[in-house]
Amino acid sequence: MGRRVHEHRREIRRLVSASGAKNPRVFGSVARGQEHPQSDLDILVDFPVRTYGLLPLAHLADEISRMVGVKVDVAASEASSPPVAATALHDAVPL
């Protein structure tokens, strides 16, 4: 897992929990060890999107992005399309 993620792991987990999300997992190039300087950070979480919408996840992504210094995308496992969810789950590394 990327250096920035490792350095901020505890704080990322705290922010995820405070947002009401659970089970944060890194996926994409960072999880595969293929990150480069322009890589973003992709995080998959369990979050009741049907109840609370996507706005809390957008705020969470912004908070994490400010902390780690790269663009962050936060995806909810229940809101992802089946092909995207399958790929994310295949790559996923628990935080």
Question: Looking at residue 52, which CATH number applies to its domain?
Answer: 3.30.460.10
Buried/exposed code over 45-62 (b: 16+ C-beta within 10 A; e: otherwise): bebebeeeeeebbeebbe
> Quick one: pLDDT at residue 78?
81
> Quick one: pLDDT at residue 31?
92
Closest to 26 in 3D by CA, of 48, 53, 55, 3: 3
Q: pTM of this prediction?
A: 0.91
> Quick one: pLDDT at residue 5?
87
> Quick one: pLDDT at residue 61?
98
Expressed as residue numbers, the domain containing 11 is 3-94
Give the residue ranges of the chain where pLDDT is below 50. Answer: none
- Number of domains the chain contains: 1
> Quick one: pLDDT at residue 76?
93
